[in-house]
Amino acid sequence: MAGRTLYVVVCGAPAAADVDSFVRLARDAGWLVRVIATPMGSRFLDDDRLADLTGASVRTDFRMPDETSDGLPPADAVVVAPATFNTINKWALGITDNVAIGMLCELVGFGLPTLAVPQLKAELASHVAFGPSIDALRSMGVRVMFDPAAPQTARMPRWEDILKELSSLLGG
């Protein structure tokens, strides 16, 4: 993975508060990591700690037309973790009302290897919109790590397992 760039998209779910653990794992595996957050996801993050770990600020908004650089190197892969009910559904429908979902829609359009890891309550997972949204993302080539039968406390895989799944997605 040396020299490759990984975008980590973070949404507003409990696991977001520990995303720096995933950033460390990915960085230790040779990834250059850049963090992009949804508006709610940013509320869970320690921006200064993530900036120290990644060497760049967390991206939370669209680049303005007069900005000369967006500060993001081209990505080689994307991990969306934790992915919320809201993000999964908006992403599947192409509703790009924030920079994170806008980038996800665009990056999937480029065919970039993408791994989505939802973290949501069983009640939301059983909502009529969620299953078709997961199916839509899979039809676009997104790999989804989600076990609806897992107990609530085990619904979100460990960061190490997410990194392993990313490696598998990339054929490694």
Q: Where are the domains of the chain?
A: 4-60+72-165
C-alpha torsion 132→90→123→148, nearest 10: 50
Asked if residue 102 has pLDDT above 90, the reply is: yes
**More confident: 63 or 40:** 40
Amino acid at 99: V
State the CB neighbour count (10 A cutoff) for residue 166.
Answer: 26
Amino acid at 50: L
Arithmetic mean of pLDDT, 66-86: 87
Asked if residue 2 has pLDDT above 90, the reply is: no
State residue 70's pLDDT score: 57
CB 100 within 8 A of CB 63: no
Arithmetic mean of pLDDT, 57-67: 81
pLDDT tens digit string along 137-149?
999 999 999 988 8
pLDDT tens digit string along 123-138?
999 999 999 999 999 9
The model's confidence at residue 119, banded by pLDDT at 50, 70 and 90, is very high
Q: Which CATH class is domain 4-60+72-165?
A: alpha beta
- Bridge partners of 83, per DSSP, are 118
